[in-house]
Each structure stands twice: as structure tokens, then as C-alpha cells.
Amino acid sequence: MPSVLYGGCILALKLLWLFVLVEATTRTYYVGIVEENWDYAPTGKNLITGQSLSEDEHASGFVKRGANRIGRIYKKAVYKQFTDGTYTQEIPKPSWLGFLGPVMKAQEEDIFIVQLKNFASRPYSLHPHGLFYDKDSEGALYPDGTSGKSKEDDIVVPGGNYTYTWPVKKEYAPTLADPTCLTWIYHSHIDTPRDISSGLIGPLLVCKKGSLDDSSVQSTDATKGFALMYSIIDENLSWYIDANIKAFCLDPTTVDKEDEGFKNSNKMHAINGYIFGNLPTLEMCAGQSVSWYLIGIGNEIDIHSVYFYGHTIINRGHRADVVNLFPATFITAEMIAGNVGKWLLTCQVNEHLQAGMKGLYNVQICHKNVSQPSLTGQERRYFIAAEAVLWNYGPEGDDKFTGQALNTTGSESAPFFTQGTDRIGGQYWKVQYVEYTDDKFTRKKNRTEATMHLGILGPVIKAEVGDTLLVTFANKAEKNYSIMPHGVSYSKQSEGTSYLDGHWKLGAHVKPCETFTYKWRVPENVGPTTSDPPCLTYLYYSASDPVMDTNSGLVGPLIVCRKNTLNHDGTQVLTDVFTYPEWHDLVICGEIHIQV
């Protein structure tokens, strides 16, 4: 009797599974692995500055061919989508996807069927993140104790094929609090670092039930979506490094694969496999909802700060304009494209910024009824100058933890504070944002006990939702500088940095002894969400040369708060106290500056 019951249960489960298969939408993808040459900068230009890559001091080390340099073109293996199992007709993908595989989508209760064909010269596989799979559809090679049919998925040999089946179970689908689609990836998983460095990776989206058409992978709403992978792609790890040396180095016999210069030249700081603005411009309409499917992949150097110029985004319920990505990080960020113009997409890590991890997105007016929200709050004015200062990193001369002098021989602080023929010591000339009382820039605002802790930082700029910020900037230093804000809305005329966006911006490079007034708006759509604290912390900085300017000292805090959060004088936000040195009167640009 028990055996009869057991058999009946098994039969019932099989019938239930067949019923689910009938009711669910099966989304079939025909994917081929193809080898091809990939150009990281096909225009030959830095499309952010307009310079030729060969003339760009930061770009030439990555893109210039030489006797022992590969240049910007590499052989890779990539995933491509085809119309059917004959693999004769490729389905074109958006150019901005670069060498990433096609975006594969499904929603809750759907079933992914991926028919993989390997046209490459070596074995590969296909493994998903974020989905349920049985052992025969895992696509990952490791000693898992399986054999026979459950091992066939691990490796697809050249000329071979395999079918992977992944059901989208409810427990793998987005929750109510999640965005419409969760961002995941798929990739080859035989030797994962080498497979991915060779090019075998693509975006995978798992969506809420009802968000996709039954017959296609189109969204049922008007949301625009872009999948972006920020990664320093290490071509030294590629399976094709030897082939690339042979094909593209002008004298392959001179190549030393262990030479640091050679290895660095093959580390491409890319967005979807594009560098220095060669990512095709991402187009969207003003007022449109945009989903950013952000992918971080790589190793310990792949720590990225993805910055959306001109807009803010919602990330996991919180307002921001920067998303932090780490290796194997997958994030869906949501944005309303409201600020018309062409805007930068960058990684703000200094080295990555200089190495070309930049792209552009363009917000166009597609409908006549687009307008900016009106503001009913205060108009808050700030008068800020950039001034050269001799900054002491240890003004009292001793280590507050040990009591020793900072230059004590053998101490942890000595390398930084010992001055000598080849050592600067603890004092550096820097440039600092300094607040004044009015646009005459003759009377400085003294720092109070509550703001002494700010140190080299500029004054705190504060605003509430509904406010307008007018920031008059005077450049009292010796080079061109600017003020560029995070977390607020601004027009192109008030953007503090320059790039090829079709606008000439006086505020991007304010010359010495000149002034410029920036106008920044704080509409509701940049304010804190219901999940945020009352005030959000951002910064402002000089972006004439973002890396040089910020390391020179030009950075300050910017606080965006909900309505009715600040006192009339706005003094409640920062309360910590730290010693701050006094400065004497200075004569700059022919003016006398007096402390008050």
C-alpha cells in the first residue's frame, strides 16, 4: 500500500510539472559562441574631448600599437543570438551592448530554454546567476560528483551544442520592494576569470509577473532599459593573449608577457567593452522612465563609482546619483529622464576616470508637454572662492594616539611628516573653497566651533526640496577651476565641467580673478525618498580637471533635505568639532581679504 501511494505522489508531481510547463511562457534563446576581433575604440578618438586617441596622453598607452603593444583590437569569444537552431541568421543587438551577449529576459513562472552552439576553437559553457537550475543545466565545471547526463552541461566542445533549461520560480523572482526586473548575468564557467576576460558574459533579467509580453521579451510599459558592465577587462587573462600578440604586435618576438608595462596596456577600463567615450550614445526621451541594469565584474581593482551626470537615480529605494559596483555586483537603478541634454556616464575612481571609463547618454525632447517642476522654496545664496593655502596635515606636530612627534624616526607617521631633500613633509600647497559674506569677496566667513572639523573641505552648502541655490564662485587661485554639484538639478549653463555635449559652458573653466554664478534647483525628484533619512549627503567639487582639482583640495559637502528639515539659518546639520587653524589677511587679485 505505501508503495502505491508513493507512486501516485510521483505521478501527481509529474502531472503538475507538465501543467506548469503548459501554462508558463517558454522563452527560447538560440545562442552561438563566436570568435571575432573587438575594437575597444572604433572611432580612433576620445569622444569625450574630441582628441585623437594617439594624441591623448592617458589613452595612448592603451590603444597604440607597437613592437610589443597589441593596441585597441583584440580577438575575443562572444555570445551572439540567432533566430533558430540553424544558427544562420543573427539577431542584431543594440550597438551599446558592445561585446556583451544578448539581453536574456524572462518573468516569474516563465522558463528559459537556451540552446547553445559553440562555434569557437576551444570549449566553453553557459552558466546563469539568479536562477534555479538542476545539475544538468548548471553550465559550470567543477568536481561536483555528477556524471553522465548531469555532467554534459559543464563543457560544450568546439562544434558541439547543449540545451539549458532554467525555470523562473517565484522564490527567484523580484519581491514587491524590488524594481520590475532584477539584474543578473550569464557567463562561461569552465575557467571563469579567463572565460569572462575572453568575452563570454551577458546580461540576464528576471522580471515581475506581467511585466513582459507573453510572445516576446518586450516590456509591457514604456520603460527604457540599458545594461552596462563596468569592468577593467584584463586581456592578459584571455585565452587569446598569445594569438593577439602574434596578430597585432608589430614585433611579437620582443614581447615580455610579464613586463608590467605590457600587462597594464592590456587592462581596458571599459563600459561594455568601450573606452574613452566610444560607447554609442544612449538615447532616451525627457519624462521617460529608465532602468539601468548595472554589472560589476572583475577582481580587486574593479571597485567602481558609477556617476550619472545631470540626474539622480533610485537604488534599492534610496536616492543617489552614484552607484557603487564591486566584482559580482548586479544592481537595477531607476531614473526619470528629466534633464534635457547630453550627459556623462563615468566611473569616478581617479585612475579609472583617466583611463577612459566614460560614456554619454542623451535626453531628448520627444513630446511637447515636457516642463520643469516649479519651485516654491527659498533662494539660498552662497559666495565661495577658490584660494591657495599652505595646508598642514598635522598642525600640532604630534600623534594624538601615541603622543610622539609626527616626525619621530621609526614611527608610523615619520614617512609622511619627515622633511628632507627628497621628502616634502606634512605641509603642502593646496587650493581650498572658502566662504565669503557677499559677492564683493572681501569679508570671509569665520568657521564656527560646529564647523572647525571640516578641515580642508569647503563650506557646507545646504538646501531643502523646493529651494533654488545660487552659488557665486570667485577664482582667486592660479589655474582654471569650477564648482560641480552632486545630487541637485542644473542646466547645461550651470554644469561645472566640459565635454563634447554641444554646449559652451563658462562655468566649466572659471579663469583666475573671474567669477561665475551657478544656479542649481532642488525639485521633489532629487529629494530624499520615504526610505531615506531627512537629509542626503553629497559633495561639490571642481571639475575643470576632476582628478587634479579634487586632489588639490577643491571638495566640499552638499546637503539636500526634505522640506521643513532645516532651521532658518541651516546650522543644525553638522555638529562635530575639530581644531581649525586661523589664516591672516591675504592680498589676492589686487584685493585685501579680511577675516570676520
Residue 482 has pLDDT above 70, yes or no: yes
The pLDDT value recorded for residue 582 is 35
The pLDDT value recorded for residue 11 is 52
- Please tell me whether residues 287 and 421 are part of one structural domain: no
Residue 245 has pLDDT above 50, yes or no: yes
CATH of the domain at 399: 2.60.40.420
- Please tell me whether residues 279 and 406 are part of one structural domain: no
- Please tell me whether residues 357 and 480 are part of one structural domain: no
Dump pLDDT digits (tens) for 531-588.
999 999 999 999 999 999 999 999 999 999 999 999 877 764 444 433 323 333 444 4
- Distances from the Cα of 45 to the Cαs of 41, 48, 76, 277, 444, in angstroms? 7, 9, 22, 8, 45
The pLDDT value recorded for residue 223 is 79
Which pLDDT band holds residue 384 (cuts at 50, 70, 90)? very high
- Please tell me whether residues 36 and 133 are part of one structural domain: yes
Q: Are 104 and 114 contacting, i.e. CB atoms less than 8 angstroms apart?
A: yes
Within a domain: 370:
no
Within a domain: 15:
no
- Please tell me whether residues 186 and 243 are part of one structural domain: yes
Domain count, the chain: 2
Residue 373 makes CB contacts below 8 A (sequence gap 6+) with 523, 524, 525
Quote the mean pLDDT of the chain.
92
- DSSP H or E run through 193: helix 192-198
How far apart are alpha carbons 242 and 263 in whole angstroms? 13
Q: Which domain holds residue 103?
A: 26-364
Dump pLDDT digits (tens) for 86-109.
999 999 999 999 999 999 999 999
- Please tell me whether residues 95 and 42 are part of one structural domain: yes
Q: Would you mind telling me the total number of residues written for the chain in this entry?
A: 596
Ramachandran region, residue 590 (left: φ > 0; alpha: ψ -120 to 50; beta: rest): left
Residue 207 makes CB contacts below 8 A (sequence gap 6+) with 105, 106, 107, 108, 173, 174, 180, 181, 182, 219
Residue 592 has pLDDT above 70, yes or no: no
Backbone angles phi, psi at 546, to 5 degrees: -55, -40
Within a domain: 143:
yes
**Of the candidates 314, 331, 364, which is a domain's last residue?**
364
Dump pLDDT digits (tens) for 158-179.
999 999 999 999 999 999 999 9
Average pLDDT over residues 267-273: 99
Within a domain: 410:
yes
In this prediction the pTM is 0.91
Within a domain: 13:
no
- Please tell me whether residues 321 and 423 are part of one structural domain: no
Q: Are 181 and 227 contacting, i.e. CB atoms less than 8 angstroms apart?
A: no
- Please tell me whether residues 360 and 391 are part of one structural domain: no
> Could you tell me whether strands 586-588 and 555-561 are parallel, antiparallel, or unpaired per DSSP bridges?
unpaired
The pLDDT value recorded for residue 186 is 99
Within a domain: 242:
yes
How far apart are alpha carbons 281 and 29 in whole angstroms? 27
- Please tell me whether residues 533 and 394 are part of one structural domain: yes
Dump pLDDT digits (tens) for 410-424.
999 999 999 999 999
Average pLDDT over residues 1-17: 49
How far apart are alpha carbons 474 and 513 in whole angstroms? 7
- Please tell me whether residues 280 and 181 are part of one structural domain: yes
- Please tell me whether residues 100 and 195 are part of one structural domain: yes
Within a domain: 135:
yes
**Of the candidates 364, 392, 424, which is a domain's last residue?**
364
Within a domain: 30:
yes
- Please tell me whether residues 328 and 402 are part of one structural domain: no
